[in-house]
Amino acid sequence: NAGVTQTPKFQVLKTGQSMTLQCAQDMNHNSMYWYRQDPGMGLRLIYYSASEGTTDKGEVPNGYNVSRLNKREFSLRLESAAPSQTSVYFCASGNYGYTFGSGTRLTVV
């Protein structure tokens, strides 16, 4: 099925560890996004990429880096994970109506 694929679905990290969240879309969208959602709250934009080769900060970029590897793939990296980064991470793509992935549930202990 066409859509946005995120990996992994679940991850537990120790404080200070690093990891990369992967996101790929097969809808030929120019724009891709990373959001985080904390319990009981709305989504907050971390980074976005309006087109291949460009990235920009969103509302909460501190502690994260991103790479737009090609038109299909947009990865999110945590260089030194902190407990405050425990959250559900959603990737999305689209210029007008967004399509979201199913999320990565990250716990930092």
Partner 1 sequence: DAKTTQPTSMDCAEGRAANLPCNHSTISGNEYVYWYRQIHSQGPQYIIHGLKNNETNEMASLIITEDRKSSTLILPHATLRDTAVYYCIVRSPNNYGQNFVFGPGTRLSVLP
Contact footprint for partner 1 (CB under 8 A) = 4, 31, 33, 35, 41-45, 48, 50, 56, 58-59, 88, 90, 92, 94-103
For partner 1, the closer of residues 1 and 14 by Cβ is: 1
Binning the chain into helix, strand and coil, the percentages to the nearest 5 are 5, 50, 50
What is the biggest distance separating any 2 CA atoms in the chain, rounded to whole angstroms? 37
Taking alpha carbons only, the member of 79, 31, 15 closest to residue 23 is 31
Nearest distance in Å: CB 39, partner 1: 11
Which helix (H) or strand (E) segment holds residue 68: the answer is strand 65-68
Nearest distance in Å: CB 37, partner 1: 8
For partner 1, the closer of residues 14 and 96 by Cβ is: 96
